[in-house]
Amino acid sequence: MKVALLGLGLMGLPIAQRLVHCGHDVVAWNRSQERLKIARDEGLSVASSLTAAVTAGEVLILTLSDAAAIEEVLFDPSVTPLIEGKTVLQMGTISPDESRNLGIRVEAAGGDYLETPVLGSIPEARAGELIIMAAGSETAYHQTLLLLRGLGKEVEHLGPVGKGAAVKLAMNQLIVSLTAGFSQSLGLIRAQGVEVEQFMQLLRQSALYAPTFDKKLKKFMEHDYSNPNFPLRHLIKDLALFQQVAESSGINGAIANATLKVLLSGQDAGYGDEDYSSLYEAINPGFDAETDIGC
């Protein structure tokens, strides 16, 4: 398929590369020239302008940071008339209401809309092992299913627009909860001088264990959150969205609000662009690896 991928952030670039690997004709565009240069240097075809990219693609894939970025890009006066007859796949994390509004506007412009947020990070994108939560136009779903299966091991159609966005927010809230919960427990283990591996051996045998604990353990032990697949500031944005949607749905948002404050303190401490697991430092402030009696 002829694909125009708009947004070459941490996920946009590996998704574009995976689509090329799967045989699709991909042209990429990004608002910043720096990311365009990186894409060009890595062999991707890049468009000279946003309108050139949109014109070239029969499928428009949005890998943009938030609803405001989508508004700026897709509904630029020079772009909106070009949507007619095209399929728009929206892969970012936005709220259900934002996605429904986006779908209405795409359809009004003569396009077909499918929300397709993904769970996974750079390694999963490169390997085609993302989990894709599709919702919206069944026509668009079936037309792009082969393309989506090149990106994801699971491609589930969940129903009308908004359901995919809701599932994505629920998943990202679990990222926060699991990582924050493990950070608290691990902090106590280390502070009290319990051998970390003894704790982990017991934890792995229990129903409490989640694979993400081992995935992030090395970062916690070394206090090294560089080269992020998912920066803390993006998780903060997603948790804030979750809180808003949860409260509007009648769910008590106190836990999300309290956790958000902790994450924001981590961002204030300079971890915003580091891996989201740096929230460990906000939960265990001032923890010095050299004085860790548990290691």
Enzyme catalytic residues: 168
β-bridge pairing 118-119 and 112-115: unpaired
| Beta carbons of 148 and 116 less than 8 angstroms apart | yes
Tokens coding 142: 């079936």
Which 3 state secondary structure label does DSSP give 274?
coil
Cα distance between residue 68 and residue 7, in whole Å: 13
Alpha helices in the chain (DSSP H): 12-21, 33-41, 50-56, 67-74, 96-108, 122-127, 138-151, 163-191, 196-204, 211-222, 232-248, 254-266, 279-283
Cα distance between residue 177 and residue 242, in whole Å: 12
| 209: amino acid identity, one letter | Y
Cα distance between residue 67 and residue 203, in whole Å: 39
Tokens coding 6: 């708009």
DSSP secondary structure code for residue 289 in this structure: G
Q: What is the largest CA-CA distance in the chain?
A: 64
| Beta carbons of 136 and 114 less than 8 angstroms apart | yes
